[in-house]
Amino acid sequence: MLIDPLHTLQAAARAYGKHVVPGVQIERVIVIAAGGVRIASVAVPLCGESSPPPVADGWDFSEPMPRYDGVVVPIKGQRLSLLKLLAEAPGPLTVEQLKAAWEDGIAEEGTVRWTILKLKEALKSLFPQVAEPITNGEGGYSLALR
């Protein structure tokens, strides 16, 4: 039998809350890792209710429209292919490597750079708090939104 760690955490929080402060309803569990890094913030539903799906931190490409920290990012087509490559890359990508975003792998350098520029503009408008969502430094292009 598989154990769902999220439901186990929620049930434990509910039980702990009843033990520590009887009559108080626990609404959220926050898990903090070493160094103060928050790794989870999960709603605790009432007993018997289903829990909302957890929000994935960072990029999530499991749906037709990508999400960043749970927020839908309305980018599609070639820009989405580039975004996915950049988000999943362990480091900077060159223009040659970014050509893989095109179905046949064939694209002019100017086309790749223009599409990156348009993706960068779209991300800037969606995330104005990030000065440079895509940077071009030593080694190639990198995505700042991780």
User: Any residues with CB less than 8 A from the CB of 60 and at least 6 apart, and which?
Assistant: 66, 67, 68, 70
| pLDDT single digits (tens) 78-90 | 999 999 999 999 9
- On whether both 79 and 38 belong to a single domain, the answer is no
CA 95 to chain centre: 24
| pLDDT single digits (tens) 68-115 | 887 889 999 999 999 999 999 999 999 999 999 998 888 999 999 999
Structural domain containing residue 80: 74-143
* 124: in domain: yes
- On whether both 17 and 78 belong to a single domain, the answer is no
* 36: in domain: yes
Q: Residue 1: which pLDDT band, with cuts at 50, 70 and 90?
A: very low
* 68: in domain: no
- On whether both 83 and 133 belong to a single domain, the answer is yes
Helix, strand, coil distribution of the chain in percent, nearest 5: 40, 20, 45
Count structural domains, the chain.
2
- On whether both 23 and 79 belong to a single domain, the answer is no
Which CATH number is 98's domain given?
1.10.10.10
The pLDDT value given to residue 54? 58
* 58: in domain: no
* 101: in domain: yes
